[in-house]
Amino acid sequence: MNTSKLTQVISLTALVFILQGCVTAKVDEMTYNPPEAGIGASSVVLLGRRHASNYDTERDFVQCVRDHIQAKDDTIEIVEESQFLDALYPWFEPRTAPMHPGAIRELLTQPAVTSKIQALDTQYMIWIDGNTERTDASGSMTCGIGPTGAGCFGFGTWSDESNYEAVIWDFSNQAEVGRINTSTSGQSYMPAVVVPIPIIAPVQGTACDGIGEQLLQFLSANY
Amino acid sequence: MGLTTIDKQYPSLRAAALASCLLFLSACGANQVIVDSQFPQPALDPIPMTLGVYFSEDFKTHIFVDEPKAETERGWVVETGAAQVSLWQTILNAMFEKVVYLEQAPSTETPSAEVQSVLIPTISDLQYAIPAHTNTKVFELWLKYDIAVTDNTGDSLAEWSMTAYGKTPEAFMQSNQEAVGAAAIVALRDAGANFAVNFPKVPAVSEWLQRASDETPLREGTP
């Protein structure tokens, strides 16, 4: 790579960082009995709660947390959410999903469920509950196109807020062994003078990193 | 002449009327959704009995048609028949040791020799809501079923209603049709979960299952 290209890449990277909106994040963690030597050959499943009437935990958020953990420790086997839900259908649908660890004991009295869980070798089930929502938006922008070209003029701003809670259940003891909360908020801006320049606050991404990092510390022997 | 009489006497007339309606809606650019999904193999321990199942033609070819309320709106045509059959076959095959699918409804004239009892599901209502209706960012779909269990001559043993609900959030680059289709699949999965979990808890069903198990002793070791 020649010097001019390298300068362009560095400038672009710097611009991306400069143009990110500010995010405020708070993470609370409370865990008991973490596996000292990691989870070994067992697997973990991350599931989103979707029983509330006014929101669903986003599937892409669950996937983001999964990717965050596996990017830093690929020895942790995390079962795909859809694979787990299909394998244990109909016991983990929004209507039927267990709401407390004691309900797992009842589920395990059914041979068909027990054999599926044994096949997946799941030691921890992590429920993620929450969502990201737009709390405020203002401003206006006008775009036009003419014979000489196109362009936009105006200014828009909006704020997002994320609240997520991850609850860790130990399958072998059918007990809750941890709870992690994260709250993030941030303001994004979009000024436009001919070209709109989005300055996006990565609110959901920060919440994903916060929960992912704490879960990584709980599950991994290397952190 | 009531609709029921038309159904019985002129099935071809009804089919032609429905086809004309569909043609009219498609000509106006109605939103058309064909729900056709494969459902996961349920993790259920089969009830040790043989059950007859009858799907009516209306059930197998179920179509929901919603005509537009205004000239600026587009109608909706949601075809769920194939998915309904796929779901109920998947669930019932896992719930019962043997399932016999009947070509005609049980009656005193044509009693089934193969089975003692027959389950007949009927779709009594389908409703949907899209963000344009509710000002939320969620596509929703409700299903209501009337379920009957009869003996092999058509005499009622149990009757009850069951509802199912599915929702899916708005997503980037997802069309309204795709979103309604996704909500329908969630609703169908919910219908399967609701039926599988609550079927033995319906009082009339519970009594019927008890009578059936008294008449035919359960196999040893089967719950």
Q: Is residue B192 less than 8 Å (CB to CB) from chain A?
A: yes
Backbone phi, psi, residue A54, to 5°: -105, -5
* Minimal C-alpha gap between A93 and chain B (Å): 7
The residue among A81, A88, A95, A108 with the most chain B CBs within 10 A of its CB, best to mutate, is: A95
Chain centroid to CA A92? 19
The residue among B38, B93, B167 with the most chain A CBs within 10 A of its CB, best to mutate, is: B167
Rounded Cα–Cα distance for residues A212 and A201 (Å): 19
Q: pLDDT tens for residues B62-84?
A: 999 998 878 778 889 999 999 99
Collect all residues from A whose CB is shorter than 8 A from any CB in B.
56, 58, 85-91, 93-96, 110-113, 115-116
Instruction: Name which of B169, B186, B192 is nearest A90 (Cβ-Cβ).
Output: B192
**A123 domain residue, yes or no:** yes
Residue of B nearest to A85 (CA): B40
Q: pLDDT tens for residues B84-110?
A: 999 999 999 999 999 999 999 999 988
Q: Is residue B45 less than 8 Å (CB to CB) from chain A?
A: yes
Cis ω before B111 (30° cut-off from 0): no
**A209 domain residue, yes or no:** yes
Helix (H) / strand (E) element for A211: namely helix A203-219
Chain centroid to CA A87? 22
Token pair 């609370």 is found at: A28
Count Cβ–Cβ pairs < 8 Å, chain A vs chain B.
52
- Average pLDDT per 10 consecutive residues for chain A, totaling 223 residues: 68 62 90 78 92 89 96 92 95 95 91 92 94 94 91 94 96 90 95 93 96 93 81
* Minimal C-alpha gap between B74 and chain A (Å): 26
Q: Above 80 in pLDDT, residue B217?
A: no
Asked if the Cβ–Cβ distance from B40 to A87 is below 8 Å, we say yes
Confidence of residue B219 (pLDDT cuts 50, 70, 90): very low
Residue of B nearest to A57 (CA): B169
- B223 CB neighbours in chain A (<8 A) are 110-111
- pLDDT for the residue numbered B1: 40
Asked if the Cβ–Cβ distance from B190 to A116 is below 8 Å, we say no
Q: Which positions ≥6 away from B57 have C-beta within 8 Å? A: B11
Q: Is residue B221 less than 8 Å (CB to CB) from chain A?
A: no
Asked if the Cβ–Cβ distance from B43 to A116 is below 8 Å, we say yes
- B197 CB neighbours in chain A (<8 A) are 90, 95-96
Q: What is the mean pLDDT of chain B?
A: 85
Residue of A nearest to B46 (CA): A112
**A193 domain residue, yes or no:** no
CATH of the domain at A212: 3.40.50.800
The residue type of B100 is V
Asked if the Cβ–Cβ distance from A90 to B169 is below 8 Å, we say no
pTM of structure: 0.83
Q: pLDDT tens for residues B112-137?
A: 888 989 999 999 999 999 998 888 88
Do residues B142 and B121 make contact, with C-beta atoms less than 8 angstroms apart?
no
- B42 CB neighbours in chain A (<8 A) are 89-90, 112
Of 3.20.20.70, 3.40.120.10, 3.30.160.150, 3.40.190.10, the CATH number of B43-215 is 3.30.160.150
**A141 domain residue, yes or no:** no
- pLDDT for the residue numbered B223: 41
* Minimal C-alpha gap between B223 and chain A (Å): 8
The candidate with the shortest Cα–Cα distance to A20, out of A200, A144, A213, is A200
Do residues A186 and A162 make contact, with C-beta atoms less than 8 angstroms apart?
no
* Minimal C-alpha gap between B125 and chain A (Å): 20
Residue of B nearest to A91 (CA): B193
- A93 CB neighbours in chain B (<8 A) are 189-190, 193
Domain that holds residue A118: 27-131+163-181+202-219
- pLDDT for the residue numbered B73: 81
Instruction: Report how many domains make up chain A.
Output: 1
Rounded Cα–Cα distance for residues B146 and B141 (Å): 17
Asked if the Cβ–Cβ distance from A95 to B190 is below 8 Å, we say yes
Rounded Cα–Cα distance for residues B70 and B75 (Å): 9
- pLDDT for the residue numbered B11: 55
Instruction: Name which of B40, B43, B138 is nearest A113 (Cβ-Cβ).
Output: B43
Q: pLDDT tens for residues A154-213?
A: 999 999 999 999 999 998 888 999 999 999 999 999 999 999 999 999 999 999 999 999
- pLDDT for the residue numbered B134: 86
Do residues B108 and B114 make contact, with C-beta atoms less than 8 angstroms apart?
no
**A9 domain residue, yes or no:** no
Q: pLDDT tens for residues B159-182?
A: 999 999 999 988 878 898 999 999
Asked if the Cβ–Cβ distance from B42 to A89 is below 8 Å, we say yes
ipTM at complex level? 0.82
Asked if the Cβ–Cβ distance from B40 to A58 is below 8 Å, we say no
